[in-house]
Chain A
């Protein structure tokens, strides 16, 4: 049978290898971060690195299971899977709280976090729903149903409370955007209420999601940088306001993209793309300026409130402890890093960076491998994301494509927020770094997520939906 000969044959090995490389680097990194000289054996299951290997083993087993099960099951059982996840999310609310959140199901270190798996369940449910409708005729109803599918787990997760996972759930809005489910019908409905106005579609409504998130992203970065100054050790005496630094970075990206686009864009499209880049740059700079000067113009108590929320206040040993220590660890890495196993700030032993093996796992990586390691890490991650999008776009089934986009967006969100936290670009909200953070739930859920994608992709010829 076709399926049997293609059990492993049709796997996208590129994605699988990137995934495997990340997991291996992740283990090495946890080993360094959590190294205990009294138990130096890598497979010591009493230590975090031993446990992490155990989790990887369990994840591999789950991956094997995923490969043995026919891919059509996800589509067929989408609703039961979704409901199962919701039930787990409800049950977890009755569990005793750990660190102030009712997020753990099970006992002690062997517990799981249903919220991690709810991402997969929601992704499957969303994929199932979108594949069942004709998005070309999206109505107010389809938008509302899609949003409700998101809203139920979000509400349950906020009850735990778990702000990080909530933020990650907003990533599904991008998937909906890609599939054409936007807030346009709602906005059209409202706009067309105005007498004499009759729009078929609005640009703002269609592209609301990316615009909204780019604005949020730029605003947060501008605000975080607005109080800082940028100095260069080789140019003493030159002090650049943080806001200028943001605009400067945007200009650098703009100029770089001109050069890069020469290689990737056909000649006839070049003019258009250049225009888009220039307009994008101008708009971004404008947003950044408005936010910066608007913020400066705020009354003091309003400013204080925003600064408190973003952790902008200089309080390195108090409220800002985590981020300050994390940034010190990352920033002290230098170009080539301090060398493997030499982290002085981010090792668990020294305990300066709290959670340096889970949420702040990027710290030991960046401290030990420096900018070179951080760059390789970023490139690896970006490569994985693009590969997933490539895989998504080659799917003939809408279900598969939507699911693949969900995976890409979830991984991207985790990357953006987690690394942002380590470099002072995001408020500290605890979410793990996929494949790197120590922890069973995240290891298993991200692995299963990837394995389901690989399985769906390997069977992409089976059903044309």
Chain B
């Protein structure tokens, strides 16, 4: 190759580089989109406008969860000039030492990053980024501060909103807000650091509705994070939209009254409107003021305190506490027996205390009387007839068939399954099935006699107060229920679809009357166990329960609905360690029903007694 032809080597070298660069440019600019995204990340900062959350109204249209405007004092270190610590400390009402240490706190709080190659450790903190220096400043304080902020370049205010609760009630229903954590930001791109998220109750369940839609303003920013101009003249900007208001079925005055009644007691009250399934009140005692959980500072202060309280105020008792249902469970057993045709409303059994103890009462000549007297042997007999229908010769095989059927009945009443109520923390209770007993006793190793305690609501069976309140609804409606729920409308839409579906039990409507008649007698006839729930001029139907508690005093239980025809309220009351159901739970539910139905209390003496009672 002579020297002259070496020019081609050089030309080919030029062409090779030119071609490779062109291919690379084509790939980077046209095919690969990751650089476009990177550029957006770098320059087209999306400024998110977080709307205030949706508010809550109670059933009377009273605002029970509102938003209050607060300010954060933001700081960008790179923009700070001639910082006068003392003057600044004076302005925000801190000591100069606190101001100095706050800078360190922010820096350390961001953590550090270790470069795997160089081994250099660098702080994640960046001088050009904004950080909240003082959080949650109230409007008045900010107004005093704002005119002087211009003396402190690098500091500016940012508006935020937080919850406020005009009524100090319903903390267990409403839930609270707190800052999102790293995992939540990763899994849901809606959130960015510093955002709030619903942590419990309705705030959490309806998070996606309540948080609304963030507004996004695209701006071209400089490397120092200063906004330069709206991107494309704001063509792609979107407005922030507040989440729709939630209208609750809760009556806040009833809720407040319930919380007042349950002071110094442990337990719960659940009241539901039977015709709609809307929860009127759900008290979990002891209760606490929802305002304790507003803002990072007060959550940090109050949360550990409440968490460590031995009375467990944070425990959502109406949803999570699984108690044996006690005698209230007898109502369903009567219904099942009627549906199965093993008894008629007129069937009577003598109260022989050979199988199980009972209190002294006349023999029950009918199902209604058995309910009235809460006769234990009566319900043993009828449940035995349901479980042991003689379809197999062997007792144990027969019991298996019977139990399978019985479990299905219980599920149709909402027991042993989680109710799909719109709140977090629901538990299913327990309806022991064939599998359960096979595991305990072995296959075909058990029969009715083994599991008989369930027929009076003791033994293995467990239910939550919410399920018992739902049972009261079913009885009030004579055979159907809407899944209990809090929210009756989301903005202009009604409740969620699952709450618009009527659910029927496996027991025919015609069988209910005799049990309901029994419940009427419990309250209104001599010898009934729930006379404490009687209201003048209103026919109350109820059933007491006394739940044996191996750890101490029995739990007092009462479920009821009123009036007997066209019922307006169904209620379940649970008072822990209070003894007989008729003594405590029945009067409390009586007061609640009076408050709701008559808007007044007729028996002041009873109210006084209940308010004063300290059963803690």
Contact = CB atoms under 8 A, between A and B. Distances in A.
Interface of A: 135, 174, 177-180, 206-207, 210, 213-214, 217, 221, 230-234, 245, 249, 252-253, 256-257, 280, 304, 307-308, 313, 315-316, 318, 324-325, 327-335, 344-345, 349-352, 366-367, 370-371, 374-375, 378, 381-382, 385-386, 389, 392-393, 405, 408-409, 412, 416, 419-420, 423-425
Contact of B44 (A135, A174, A344): A344
Interface in B170-229: 220-224, 228
B25 A330 contact: yes
B3 A352 contact: no
Contacts of B27: 230, 245
A174 B7 CA distance: 10
Contacts of A366: 25, 29
Interface residues of B, number: 51
Contacts of B3: 135, 178-180
A419 B21 contact: yes
A50 B549 CA distance: 91
Given A256-B19, A375-B22, 20 more contacts: A214-B16, A253-B23, A304-B117, A313-B117, A316-B38, A318-B115, A318-B122, A328-B42, A328-B43, A330-B28, A331-B29, A333-B29, A350-B221, A350-B223, A352-B42, A371-B30, A386-B11, A392-B7, A393-B7, A412-B17
A412 B231 CA distance: 37
A381 B366 CA distance: 106
Contacts of B26: 371
Contact of A308 (B12, B30, B117, B228): B117
Interface in B577-602: none
Contact of A349 (B11, B12, B21, B222): B222
A330 B35 contact: yes
Nearest first, the 5 closest Cβ-Cβ pairs linking A and B are A331-B35, A332-B39, A344-B43, A331-B28, A180-B3
A382 B224 CA distance: 38
Interface residues of A, dominant DSSP: helix
B359 interface: no
Nearest to B17: A416
Count chain A CB atoms within 10 A of each CB in B17, B23, B223 and give the residue with the most: B17
B143 interface: no
14 contacts: A327-B28, A332-B35, A344-B44, A345-B42, A349-B222, A350-B228, A351-B222, A370-B29, A374-B29, A378-B22, A385-B14, A389-B10, A389-B11, A425-B20
Contact of B21 (A179, A333, A350, A423): A423
A366 B34 CA distance: 16
B114 interface: no
Contact of A344 (B25, B28, B220, B224): B220
B6 interface: yes
A107 B259 CA distance: 82
B36 interface: yes
A223 to B, nearest CB: 14
Contact of A253 (B13, B19, B231): B19
Instruction: Give chain B's interface secondary structure class.
Output: helix
A335 to B, nearest CB: 5
B82 interface: no
Contacts of B9: 177, 207, 210
Given A351-B222, A351-B223, A378-B21, A331 B34 contact: yes
A419 B19 CA distance: 13
Contacts of A253: 16, 19-20, 23
A196 B503 CA distance: 105
A378 B18 contact: yes
Nearest to B20: A249
Nearest to B219: A344
A97 B66 CA distance: 63
A185 B223 CA distance: 54
Contacts of A423: 21, 24-25, 28
Contacts of A412: 14, 17
A66 B33 CA distance: 48
A409 B10 CA distance: 9
A329 B222 CA distance: 13
A217 B20 CA distance: 11
B23 A331 contact: no
B32 interface: yes
Residue among A207, A249, A313, A316 having the largest count of chain B Cβ atoms under 10 Å:
A249
B29 A231 contact: no
A200 to B, nearest CB: 14
B31 interface: yes
B360 interface: no
Contacts of A234: 31
B101 interface: no
Contacts of B4: 393
B21 A231 contact: no
Interface in B67-123: 115, 117-118, 122
A328 B38 contact: yes
A327 B222 contact: no
Contacts of B12: 280
Nearest to B6: A178
B315 to A, nearest CB: 46
Nearest to A420: B21
B21 A213 contact: no
A93 B30 CA distance: 45
Nearest to A210: B9
A230 B43 contact: no
A206 B9 CA distance: 12
Contact of A233 (B20, B31, B220): B31
B17 A178 contact: no
Given A135-B3, A315-B115, A349 B14 contact: no
B220 A425 contact: no
Contact of B18 (A177, A249, A315, A382): A382
Nearest to A352: B223
Contacts of A233: 31-33
Contacts of B115: 313, 315, 318
Given A210-B9, A253-B19, A416-B17, A334 B28 contact: no
Contacts of B35: 327-328, 330-332
Contacts of B222: 349-352
Contacts of B10: 174, 177-178, 210, 389, 405, 408-409
Nearest to B232: A342
A409 to B, nearest CB: 8
